[in-house]
Amino acid sequence: MQLVDAAATEALGASIAQDCPAFACIHLHGELGAGKTTLVRGFLQAMGHTGAVRSPTYTLIEPYETPAGKFFHLDLYRLSDPEELEFIGLRDWVDAGVLLIEWPEQAAGVVPAADIDVVLRVQGNAREATLTYFPKR
């Protein structure tokens, strides 16, 4: 699907939130600047978050709690060793809320399998999004 601007990317995030099962793992793929954090912002706002949404590039994780539940936004772009996720509590987050993981390929085999996979591609000033939903295992 075509996303003509940031508002359309946020709207897609909100749409995903409406269909998101509890304790889902959402993988977000796309080059730098593709709109992954913008999509997460729309998702979190749809779930009732009213504050800022920052990319956790340097902190690895930003937790959010809303009336709809707990959400953990991970950005693994700078992850040097996937085992770091074990030390900072990945196992605790899996059963605590929804995981929204940017750059999941940086920790393949360590992060949970995707329930929803989102690929964002830059096309000039627009974006193209491809979504894949996987049945619960």
- CATH code linked to domain 2-133: 3.40.50.300
Residue with tokens 């999941």: 104
Q: Where are the domains of the chain?
A: 2-133
Q: Which two tokens stand for residue 28?
A: 């977000």
d(CA 11, CA 4): 11
Per-residue pLDDT tens listing for the chain (137 residues):
999 999 999 999 999 999 898 899 999 999 999 999 999 999 999 999 999 998 888 888 999 999 999 999 999 998 888 888 887 877 777 788 999 999 999 998 889 999 999 999 999 989 999 999 998 75
pTM: 0.93
